[in-house]
Structure 1
């Protein structure tokens, strides 16, 4: 045999033996409206930072590049399809452990299907298929009286927001399936989930305890409503009394259903607002960059205005409490003139501080005017932003880590309480300010500790979603 072929086969065998993608043990089920992890585990002795990962969603008509990570592109390694914009995250800090899984947010009905995880090295490639099933457990079922049907009473069971299409069973007091004829209609909504309407007629002398159970086999979950029908609701020698009781019961049911609907709408509104807040924070954090303080930056000071409402304590009025004070600051080594950049600063070790960005700091001399800064200030336990004229309302319960998003596409600076993902303030940057902006923190003064930039670990927050 040709010695070159032997060497080539040995190299191929060596590469195949070093790398392997482990297929998932169990099928993946995503709950509509929540997040899900599409698993992809690479088994290897060593893993290069220059690997490439591609997640592809296969439909009947096309292949969609959901999210791609290119380790060779250090500036913008991740790209997303516009249909998945802002909905995916890689576990970047887990790459060295072989975790190339994809986190998919806000699962939708249309996300159901097969996803291919492809991993590339310079001389190796492998892929694995992950099938995602989606499901949703609807709200609590309710049983309504529809009135008289012959000598019996019509009953209707309703529930909303199920996927896939659930089963509906009517039970008696012993938990056994009733023998009455049941008519069930499952209506599909515009979002793809199902609303359930099921009806039956209860005849006199039947088992008067009735249960409606809605079952989702995929999630192995169910909801059930149980009612006990009195003989007084059936036609008798006193139809007026029966009619009165029926109307009274129906009114009670309507009032209860209305109260439940209002409560459900309020909770859904709260959940939607919380999701929008989390999504905004994750989008900001996805632009995280490392920040290094310029040790050779020299002595720079920033004119910082006092907190809003500060008055002079000098009875003679000689001291002007509204005059700005000079604070020694440390600039980052690198500045930014375009795009979006995010970083975080630990502030728990210092009661009063100021941080943010300054415009063209190195070219403006030793003292930088407050007008050239976009900053968040902490003074006497209160936060204020801008240029000293706006307090942060309402104040956060605690503030140990501050996240800063410099968004030069939307021309604004955002400040977040990064532990609880709360937006503290947004400051616009003028359209004419086409300059380089430098992150800054105050230097240490006496016993006051310096503020430090901390590394941003995006995957750690995914556990709280």
Structure 2
């Protein structure tokens, strides 16, 4: 079982994620969309995204009275949240530049404009945003090690190339003349030769 699966199972056992939650993975620094399709409740009277936090609920983004209200939006979400496409019945929440603190449970409530009854207390979408910690940085240690390795490799390539060129030249050129063969032949007279005076 991988690390994320163990983490999710642990959360379920701890009661932070219910079996009804949809788990959406996210990466720190990227954007993520928390789904909330509500076309059957369009046109909307109210769309509310919140984070239940024990007895305290944070209102992330609210659409009511035909306009988006950010008066209750916590500062850490300002400029990072928007609705996907309310005009087409899509109440999904786009969360930009995800941080580790964004991890947790989110709920989407939607009320149809023609609904005259008291607001339903059940969310139509419950999401658990899973933001695992970033993987460790695997860059080489600082310094000139990379440069030294690159220069050593380059020197090795040059040396092999030079040896190849020298070897090839030796094979294609005629052998050097023998030094013994270049000396003129000298005949030494011997005492037994009567022709020598």
TM-score by length of 1: 0.23
Answer yes or no: is the 8 Å Cα contact 2:59–2:74 preserved in 1: yes
Question: Matches of 1:84 and 1:67 in 2, distance apart?
Answer: 9
Deviations 1:251-294 (A, max 9, x none): xx732479xxxxxxxxxxxxxxxxxxxxxxxxxxxxxxxxxxxx
Residue of structure 2 equivalent to 1:63: 57
Task: Let me know the Cα RMSD of the aligned residues.
Answer: 3.0
Bigger relative contact order (CA 8 A; separation at least 6): 2
Answer yes or no: is the 8 Å Cα contact 1:59–1:113 preserved in 2: no
Look at both structures and tell me which one has the larger radius of gyration over its CA atoms.
2
Deviations 1:59-99 (A, max 9, x none): 346321111111x144xx231222311110112xx334331
Paired residues for 1:106-117 under 5 Å: 106-117=97-108
Alignment pair present for 1:54 and 2:55: no
Alignment pair present for 1:254 and 2:143: yes
3-state SS of paired residue (1:100) = strand
Residue of structure 2 equivalent to 1:130: 127
Residue of structure 1 equivalent to 2:137: 139
Question: Matches of 1:60 and 1:37 in 2, distance apart?
Answer: 24
Which runs of 5 or more structure 1 residues have no equivalent in the other structure?
1-23, 145-252, 259-465
Residue 100 of structure 1, CA deviation: 0.4
* Residue from 75, 78, 89 that aligns with 1:98: 89
3-state SS of paired residue (1:254) = coil
Answer yes or no: is the 8 Å Cα contact 1:67–1:81 preserved in 2: no
Question: Matches of 1:78 and 1:42 in 2, distance apart?
Answer: 19
Aligned residues: 120
Residue 129 of structure 1, CA deviation: 1.1
Answer yes or no: is the 8 Å Cα contact 1:88–1:102 preserved in 2: yes
Which runs of 5 or more structure 2 residues have no equivalent in the other structure?
1-19, 148-197
Answer yes or no: is the 8 Å Cα contact 1:32–1:108 preserved in 2: yes
Structure having the higher helix fraction is 2
3-state SS of paired residue (1:83) = helix
Question: Relative to 1, partners in 2 of residues 1:255 and 1:86: Cα closer, same or farther, differing over 3 Å?
Answer: same
Answer yes or no: is the 8 Å Cα contact 2:35–2:91 preserved in 1: yes
Residue 56 of structure 1, CA deviation: 0.8
Structure having the higher strand fraction is 1
TM-score by length of 2: 0.51
Question: Matches of 2:61 and 2:86 in 1, distance apart?
Answer: 15
3-state SS of paired residue (2:33) = strand
Residue 37 of structure 1, CA deviation: 0.6
- Structure 1 stretches of 4+ with a deviation exceeding 6 A read none
3-state SS of paired residue (1:110) = helix
Question: Matches of 1:58 and 1:141 in 2, distance apart?
Answer: 39
